[in-house]
């Protein structure tokens, strides 16, 4: 079985309910690491960072990982200008740094990562990205049809093609047009997991404002019975590097 990476979109400050404490209890009880991606945008750059810093960071085990999730938007809507998007990335990085959080994992809100964003991400030290949803029906801002399903370094001109970017993409697992978020429900999630069982890494998502506690338990149990290895985004990137370096040396 492959490595399994569980991620959480941390947006609870914008919603009436946050299930982070429940997720932590399940993950800690099962000794499963997770990457928590704290949401930021120009609409309210620090709301979720403040929520997690005061309520949850001290509860999240040190063997987990905290990264960033950036929505490229402001009060006028979706932002396309490359320099303004770069400013949004830097703002998110500085806010997290002011709370003693140094991020190396990233996800673009609405999976809207563009090639022009990658240099900014590499500049602030991001090593792993999970914004790619290959062949998914969801195409709000970016169509990821044709992108690889396994971890890859993308081209600087086309993020759907392999190339020389240092940033490693960990595509979210997809199947039959659906992308692997646990709020799909187990009936849709189980065939997705089975379809991706031969992948090097299976990356899955949760939303902290959606009650996926039971499906989180089912997902962990599903992979545990199959001997899978749970890891964080950055650790998966490290293991990918070591594995491919070893292959190159043979």
Fold classification of 3-249 is TIM Barrel (3.20.20)
Domain ranges of the chain: 3-249
Q: What is the pLDDT of residue 157?
A: 96
Q: Which residues of the chain have pLDDT under 50?
A: 247-248, 250
pTM comes to 0.95
pLDDT tens-place string over residues 116-151: 999 999 999 999 999 999 999 999 999 999 999 999
Contact 2, 197 (CB under 8 A): yes
Q: What is the pLDDT of residue 250?
A: 45
Q: Which residues contact 169 (CB under 8 A, 6 or more apart)?
A: 128, 129, 130, 131, 132, 147, 148, 151, 152, 153, 154, 159
């Amino acid at each position: 079985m492959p490595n399994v990476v569980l991620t959480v979109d941390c947006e609870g400050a914008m919603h009436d309910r946050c299930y982070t404490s429940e997720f932590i209890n399940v993950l800690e009880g099962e000794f499963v690491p997770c990457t928590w991606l704290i949401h930021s945008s120009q609409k309210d750059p620090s709301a979720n960072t403040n929520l997690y810093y005061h309520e949850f960071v001290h509860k999240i085990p040190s063997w987990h990982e905290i990264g960033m999730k950036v929505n490229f938007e402001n009060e006028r809507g979706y932002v396309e200008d490359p320099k303004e998007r770069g400013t949004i990335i830097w703002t998110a990085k500085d806010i997290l740094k002011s709370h003693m959080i140094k991020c190396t994992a990233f996800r673009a809100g609405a999976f809207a990562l563009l090639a022009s964003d990658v240099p900014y991400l590499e500049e602030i030290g991001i090593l792993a990205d999970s914004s790619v949803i290959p062949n998914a029906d969801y195409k709000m801002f970016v169509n990821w049809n044709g992108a690889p399903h396994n971890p890859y370094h993308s081209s600087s001109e086309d993020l759907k093609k392999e190339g020389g970017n240092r940033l490693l993409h960990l595509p979210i697992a997809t199947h039959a047009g659906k992308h692997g978020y646990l709020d799909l429900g187990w009936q849709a999630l189980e065939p997705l997991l089975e379809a991706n069982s031969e992948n090097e890494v299976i990356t899955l998502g949760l939303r902290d404002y959606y009650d996926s506690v039971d499906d989180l338990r089912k997902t962990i149990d599903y992979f545990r019975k199959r001997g899978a290895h749970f890891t964080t985004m950055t650790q998966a990137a490290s293991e990918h590097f070591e594995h491919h370096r070893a292959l190159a040396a043979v």
